Structure 1
Amino acid sequence: MNKDTWYTDLKEKRIAYGISQNKLAVEAGVTRQYVSEIETGKVIPSEALMATMMDILERYNPDAPLEMLFDYVRIRFPTTDPKPVIEEIMKLKMDYMLHEDYAFYSYAEQYVFGDIVVMVSPDQDKGCLVELKGKGCRQFENFLLAQQRSWFDFFTDVFRAGGIFKRLDLAINDKVGLLDIPELTRKCQNEECISVFRSFKNYRSGELVHRREKPDMGNTLYIGSLKSEVYFCIYEKDYEQYVKNGIALEDAETKNRFEIRLKNERAYHAVADLMTYEDAGHTAFSIVNRYIRFVDKDPSKRRSKWKINPRWALFIDTEGRKLKLTTKPEPYTFEKTLNWLARQVAPTLKLAMKLDDINDTSIIKEMIRHAKLSERHEKLLAQQALPKEEVIQP
């Protein structure tokens, strides 16, 4: 941070975001006069206060400090024929889907394109099940973009076909750090979370595997029972990206993620609300406000009268900002398989190739040359090579 120009950056951001000196001073715990002296270069605050003041300003950044994504969609259709589901509702060409004679949830078979999965059962009660996890949603958005359709168009076709929503996850990305998950956890422990839920659980990411704390692990807070039809999962997304992809914390696009996980009737009502109002903020925060609110303890008052926590109020401030539904289309890539190769196969392959060099043989080269691609491999190759316009229905 350049201290020579920092104070001018502060002033420019404050004015651009429409924040008064007094409002900034109150939230930073300093006087308005001190803010004025900072902005004129008369005083230089500590680096900690510099960081705090910039963080406060970023909470008021008008360029969407929050965004909402669909992060999990599961829909059941009352048909045992996957063709109309794939070709008429999803509007993809079934010929390019990879067929597998196994599936999850006791379904008999499935059709797959990357992380887009359509499971099939001969049982009419189970019918066909479309499952789009996080990457599946992003990949399907890539096809929606090519089809010039939106999620709302897709959901309209789902309703027309009698589709039943089994699960819907709404992910609110906190890009500037409005949420403080350790603080929210402490509030749950101190009974400063007023909620219809009776349970919460927090742990540091990876704890269930490593069974010990590490300094590079993010915090996760579950509010509500994981078995219920609605619960919340709040976690530090920047730590997740650091652990998974090695992205530096300061370079992460999203600081925290607030996931609203809905099943069955709750999922249906959320989609119906989205279709009615076409307002992601209205839908998401009406669900959040119905189930929880974080407050500040006041021993002089009854718990129901405790004031809402200012930082939490800033997060759910739907009046002051518009929460938009965002899409982040991603093409299907071979990344997952390549990562598996790098972890599981590459070391052994390298060893064998070195042995070839030592023994002056070409066993590995010949092995690869004579390897035959199965029908499944050919289909995967086609999925990688095809432009998205070729995969969608005309």
Structure 2
Amino acid sequence: MSKEMKQKTLAKIRKHLGFSRKEFAELLEISLPSLKKYLEGDVVIPDKVMAKLQSLMKFEHSDSPLEGKVDFLRIRFKTFDYEAVIRRVLKLEGKPFVSLNHGQYAYDNIVQFNHIKVLYSSKDVDMGVLVELSGQGCRELEYYFEVEQSGRTWEDLLKDCFAFEKKYMALSSDVKHFLKFTRIDIALDERFLKKGNYDLLVLKEKREQGLLRTKSKSFKFIDSDSNGQSSGCSIYFGSRNSPIFLNFYEKDLEQSAKLDLPLEVVHDMYGFKNRYEVRMSDNQSDLFVREWFYQRENPVQKAITIINDKLHVFSKTKGQLHLDHDWYRLMGSYESSKFVVEPQEFIVGEKEYRWYAQIASARKYLEKLESITGERRLKMIDDEAEVSEAKRPELIYLAEQKGVKDFVL
């Protein structure tokens, strides 16, 4: 291996594992001045140092690579023209965005299409327009990327954000910081393996043993249950107001309790075990997205690097401290992760059908009751019911899509 290749390898691994120069020097059992010389290319890195590095990095590739995706996104534009944002950035012109009768985050106006939300201020241009995509909103937008926007990608969306900023700034150069990505969450899912997955409880135990070192001041472990059924443990690093907030939890147990399904069914249907969430906000999220776009960095690898920077996990053998094999086979290998999309169509009426399924037995009971009493209160209620103003645009849009003529609400 050439001198330059050794230098690049050493620097790349240090950054990926999230160690400071001092910590990395201690791990390699060399002096800090020596490491600085190696990283800066002043001297050739000795073979024994590279051998030590290889021994630290001998992690088997995980049989369950982490699958990462955008799971929350907020983008702020300093403009009052929310319709231009919908048209030029989201490219959802013509969709039935419904105006809500309340505000949020000090914004006085909200329009929403399914789970895709656009908030805007009518008075403060610095607040401007805020696009908010929840996890479900991200999945729905990915559906429109794929089905209606010619295979558009997240990178294309970012490109359109910057193009919108550039055009606006050409007209209003006095506006500063026109575009900001105020929050982004990257969710990393560890797929379920029959032979076993990483046990999150081990992180709690290692912390108690002094084998987990973290830069986060706040650490919280919660082992919860729902109606006597375990809904899994969760571990939090940092606070929700921190620029970086980490949340690891047993997603399979959470979904099993939430959906009231046997754990085996959840594994068969969804295939996941643990979830590792990296939540970034304010300047940290803005920097993350800009580096993703301009430096063409893999967002999943970037998220893993943030996790590795925030916490280091060790094991001890015969009094010797070394990197924990099970943790770093998941978080340490470059080949153990990939960026994915999970497009999901929002089906009009699906939420209402699910709600109705919960009360259908009550209606059946009332029908039987009225067959005995002779009352007709159900019919009176049905006759007086009307589709809410908020739901009407959905039905009109669906009727147009399905080619239903003379549709009447």
Range into which the TM-score falls when normalised by the shorter chain:
0.7 to 0.9
User: Counterparts in 2 of 1:180-259, with a 5 A limit?
Assistant: 180-206=199-225, 214-251=228-265, 252=267, 253-259=271-277
Could you say which residue in structure 1 is the equivalent of 2:290?
272
Paired amino acid for 2:139 = R
The question of whether the paired residues in 1 share the 8 Å contact of 2:231 and 2:256 is answered with no
Match of residue 283, structure 1, among 293, 302, 306: 302
Could you say which residue in structure 1 is the equivalent of 2:49?
none
The CA deviation at 1:383 is 5.1
Could you say which residue in structure 2 is the equivalent of 1:77?
77
The question of whether the paired residues in 1 share the 8 Å contact of 2:229 and 2:257 is answered with no
Could you say which residue in structure 1 is the equivalent of 2:328?
313
Equivalents in 1 of 2:392, 2:379: separation in Å? 21
Paired amino acid for 1:314 = R
Structure 1 residue 324 corresponds to structure 2 residue 338:
yes
Equivalents in 2 of 1:192, 1:104: separation in Å? 43
Equivalents in 2 of 1:327, 1:352: separation in Å? 45
The CA deviation at 1:290 is 1.6
Alignment partner of 1:218: what SS? strand
Equivalents in 1 of 2:322, 2:400: separation in Å? 56
User: Counterparts in 2 of 1:45-84, with a 5 A limit?
Assistant: 60-61=62-63, 65-84=65-84
Equivalents in 2 of 1:386, 1:290: separation in Å? 51
Could you say which residue in structure 2 is the equivalent of 1:166?
182
Paired amino acid for 1:243 = A
The question of whether the paired residues in 1 share the 8 Å contact of 2:75 and 2:180 is answered with yes
The CA deviation at 1:266 is 1.1
Paired amino acid for 1:98 = V
Could you say which residue in structure 1 is the equivalent of 2:100?
100
Q: Deviations over 1:118-156 (max 9, x none)?
A: 011122121111111111111111111120210110011
Paired amino acid for 1:127 = G
Paired amino acid for 2:131 = V
Could you say which residue in structure 1 is the equivalent of 2:115?
115
Structure 1 residue 354 corresponds to structure 2 residue 357:
no
Equivalents in 2 of 1:149, 1:382: separation in Å? 27
Could you say which residue in structure 2 is the equivalent of 1:51?
none
Equivalents in 2 of 1:220, 1:383: separation in Å? 41
Given the two structures, how large is their TM-score scaled by the length of structure 1?
A: 0.74
Alignment partner of 1:232: what SS? strand
Paired amino acid for 1:77 = F
The question of whether the paired residues in 1 share the 8 Å contact of 2:97 and 2:112 is answered with yes
Structure with the largest fraction of strand: 2
The CA deviation at 1:346 is 3.9
Match of residue 296, structure 1, among 307, 315, 325: 315
Given the two structures, how large is their TM-score scaled by the length of structure 2?
A: 0.71
Alignment partner of 2:206: what SS? helix
Moved more, 369-378 or 239-248: 369-378
The question of whether the paired residues in 1 share the 8 Å contact of 2:143 and 2:345 is answered with yes
Structure 1 residue 338 corresponds to structure 2 residue 353:
yes
Equivalents in 2 of 1:386, 1:95: separation in Å? 11
The CA deviation at 1:89 is 0.6
The CA deviation at 1:200 is 0.7
The CA deviation at 1:116 is 0.7
Could you say which residue in structure 1 is the equivalent of 2:139?
138
Paired amino acid for 2:191 = K
The CA deviation at 1:336 is 3.2
Could you say which residue in structure 1 is the equivalent of 2:33?
none
| Unpaired runs of at least 5, structure 2 | 1-59, 166-177, 403-409
Alignment: residue pair count = 318
Paired amino acid for 1:106 = A
Could you say which residue in structure 2 is the equivalent of 1:49?
none
